[in-house]
Amino acid sequence: MKHVYLDNAATTQVHPNVIAKMQEALAVYGNPSSTHSFGRTAKTAIESARKTIAKYMNAQPSEIIFTSGGTEADNMILRCAVRDLGVKTIITTRIEHHAVLHTVEELEQKGLIQLWYVDLDAYGNPDLAHLESLLQKDDSKKLVSLMHVNNEIGNKIDLKEITLLSKKYDALVHSDTVQSLGHYHWDVKAFPIDFLAAAAHKFHGPKGVGFAFIRKNSGLNSMISGGSQERGLRAGTESFHNIVGLEEAFKHAYDNLDEEKQYVEGLKSYFIDQVKSVIPDAKFNGHSGDLDKSTYTLVNVCLPIEEEKAMLLLFNLDMKGIACSKGSACQSGSDMGSHVLTQILTDEDMKKPSVRFSFSTYNTKEDIDYTVNVLKEIIEA
């Protein structure tokens, strides 16, 4: 049976160079906090990784804090901004990743903040006029948290414009950039964003490691108490081999970004054309069918399948060797519909199955041909 992996927005295949670097790192067993030569060897490699990531982002090394992934980075930034920086209002949307949504909802439930949601247009884009009205609403210390690339529908926002608008009203700005770091060039000196979150496994690195970009002199303190690792901002012995893997994946992503982006964007364009040709009644959710307004790495398709058959769609695709997702992988075990699609689709379209297909350089046009043909067979069965 043919195997086609089109769930790269959930996680990516680890690059062979990353595996090799991590295997070498596992032989370095010194604790990075130890002062002897074994520890210094590990510490030197960690600081090298920090410098590498900072260089590609035009950040300072001290602004890169290693975490266990994007979820921890989001939690750390949001919770500590409330605790340490006097944030009383968080402004976000209802289609953020749950690492953000569940965190801010909990902060609101505990009475620590007031929570405001920016209105969305029919495609799922934040209404900037409404955002500005919320920024003007009162004198409370505010933090705006909007993801750069939506993990389900792929919409891409103008983060620079949003940051500059927010700064007019002295608001802090955080973005979950898990779906975009490693896929787009970044220059954190080009606009004054305060906080970003990233995860290595979204760009062919290992799971269980990521980082937070925290602007210098932000005033944040550690969320996890213990040792003084990560400049005192994240206690606990660093996951040395994972950090080395993150560095290698980051280097590969940015040294090859333009070439790989062109290839993957070509796959997405081909997928869109094939779906439009073979399944003309299919709809692309959000802006995922627009190459200019969405990320080049994914599409989200509403398929013309009746409700009963829709329940077994992912199972049938899996039986044909095709890996994809009905939304975020974090949601895959839930019977609840997508919280993102609920905000933008009609009740009629919500009854139909919507599937996210996401691409990487490991995919081919043959993968897409096979997938579209299987979809056609399922629809016509």
User: Which of 99, 93, 98 lies closest to 124 in space, CA to CA?
Assistant: 93
Instruction: Show Cβ contacts of residue 308 under 8 Å, excluding neighbours closer than 6 positions.
Output: none
Is 330 an annotated catalytic residue?
A: yes
User: Which of 354, 367, 362, 302 lies closest to 328 in space, CA to CA?
Assistant: 354
Q: Distance between the two ends of the chain, CA-based, in angstroms?
A: 20
Of the listed 80, 302, 324, 330, which one is catalytic? 330
DSSP label at residue 278: H
Helix (H, G, I), strand (E, B) or coil at 126: strand
Q: In the block, which residue shows the tokens 């009905």?
A: 326
Rounded (5°) CA angle 49-33-237:
75
**Rounded distance between C-alpha atoms, residue 199 and residue 268, angstroms:** 23
* Separation in Å, CA 308 to CA 83, 144, 334, 380: 48, 41, 18, 14
Helix (H, G, I), strand (E, B) or coil at 115: strand
The torsion angles phi and psi of 298, rounded to 5 degrees, stand at -155, 160
Element (DSSP H or E) covering residue 337: none
**Rounded distance between C-alpha atoms, residue 51 and residue 46, angstroms:** 9
Active-site residues: which are they?
Answer: 330
